[in-house]
Amino acid sequence: MKHEMITFDTIVALSTPMGRGALAVIRVSGEAAFASILPYFKSLSGRTPQDDLIKEGKVISEGELRDKKRQFGIIANENRIIDEVILSSYPAPHSYTGEDVLEISCHCNPFIIREIIQLILRTARIARPGEFTRRAFYNNRIDLTRAEAVGDLLNARTEHSHRAALSQLEGSLYKKIALLLEELTSYRIELELEIDFSEQDLPVLDRKKMQQNLQRLRQELEQLLASGKEGLIIREGLKVSLIGAPNVGKSSLFNYLLETERAIVTPLPGTTRDYLEESLSINGYLVRLYDTAGLRDSAEEIEAIGIARTNELIEQADRIIYMEDGEQQGIDYEKQGLVGEYSRLIRVLNKADILSEEKIDEYRREGFIIISAKTGRGVEDLKRELIVELELKSARIEDGILSNMRQIEAVENCLKSIENALRSLEENLGYEFTAFDLKEASSALEEIIGKITTEDMLNRIFASFCIGK
């Protein structure tokens, strides 16, 4: 459903990071946005040589603030100047929230910011996390996918996460969902006409064609669902676990990739007792790298706990770098549960700087990537292998991809309803059942863009936003 324009109370928050700097922006939204600052603001025609800026300043009306989009002047409280500011006005409905919005640009000093906000709080209240964006959603300025993209854009840490968030903010996912909904609606209309006007002289519904249409729609939804995994990886990072026997060089590779001495490296096996996690960017993709405890049978309690955590990380990883050094016996694939995991597994031979070419050729023939974590040999090849699948699919970012579990679950529910609709057609259960299933499928997609929402769901989405957004 589309929300009617809703009138809320007036809210205020700092929209830029707190600290000391050149400028800060305080945002106010609501019916009293303009009126909240006028008792304390005086307009100046420009920088004046006069000592008494309060006398030089001019009191302005709310109408003047609305009509003139920028006003330079001072904010003062009881004849005490707080700061020189610029007021930027955005009258409803042509603003971010759809309400009257005022932005106050002042000097970025915590004392000044607090003083100005305290004045505005006489007629307003502090905004809750994400409340400005939530009001934009309620007032039909953006749909829910765009609202989520705002949060993703603020948190984007790499080139591709930025691209994905910006594409969603520009409506790529919304447009894709809208087309799917339009298609579903047309099929439902065909079914409902057949149900309601079966006695009339209308063309008979082509059951086979309907089945073909729904099968094609199912394929489109399956492709969209497949984009969810890459969307999550782009947004949250590719989870990569470094595994292997103790002392094969996992921590050395971990440090080399991070370009810092993050992990302790010693000749003693079992140095890494718990896993280490760090993030890095590879060709614009966020990679979350885990250095894990060496896999071996250990009676030492702390090391055994670390190995158990390593096994948990293996299960959760998107890619697994399994490392050998050509000198120690490799791990037992079956024992470690890695049989059948070759799609996630990248096998790496380390210490190429001290191994014979004969040994290197032997491992290369078995499909290992040859590296030296000490000299950097082959590390670029390893990086390319890590993200090769993501790079092949990166062109899909602009086409509209799912970016979080809420969207993925909604498409999964839609697919289940499409499967039920196909089953009802195959088993000749009656078009009423098929129409109901398609209505359920539509409802699932409508949740993605926010046509159907619950307050609990909205609370979860906007709770992760900063207060000024």
At residue 265, the pLDDT reads 47
Cα–Cα distance, 280 to 292 (Å, whole number)? 17
**Are 117 and 26 contacting, i.e. CB atoms less than 8 angstroms apart?**
yes
At residue 392, the pLDDT reads 59
pLDDT in tens, 300-313: 555 556 666 767 77
CA nearest 46: which of 85, 64, 83, 72? 72
At residue 303, the pLDDT reads 52
How buried is 454 (Cβ within 10 angstroms: 0-12 exposed, 13-18 middle, 19+ buried)? exposed
pLDDT in tens, 63-88: 999 988 899 999 999 889 999 999 99
At residue 266, the pLDDT reads 46
Structure tokens at 110: 């915590």
At residue 225, the pLDDT reads 92
What counts of helices (H) and strands (E) characterise the chain?
Answer: 15, 13
pLDDT, averaged per 10 consecutive residues of the chain (469 residues), comes to: 60 88 93 94 73 75 90 91 94 93 95 95 93 91 89 84 88 93 90 71 77 94 89 88 84 84 50 70 88 61 61 81 77 53 79 88 90 90 87 71 91 96 91 92 92 70 72
Q: Dihedral through CA 27, CA 28, CA 29, CA 30, nearest 10?
A: 180
CA nearest 38: which of 63, 59, 52? 59
At residue 19, the pLDDT reads 77
At residue 302, the pLDDT reads 56
Can you list the domains of the chain with their CATH numbers? 11-142 (3.30.1360.120), 153-233+404-449 (1.20.120.430), 237-395 (3.40.50.300)
At residue 453, the pLDDT reads 64
Cα–Cα distance, 60 to 218 (Å, whole number)? 60
Q: Which residues contact 333 (CB under 8 A, 6 or more apart)?
A: 339
**Are 370 and 377 contacting, i.e. CB atoms less than 8 angstroms apart?**
yes
At residue 173, the pLDDT reads 92
Helix 207-236 / helix 172-196 crossing angle, nearest 10 deg = 160
At residue 331, the pLDDT reads 55
Cα–Cα distance, 317 to 327 (Å, whole number)? 26
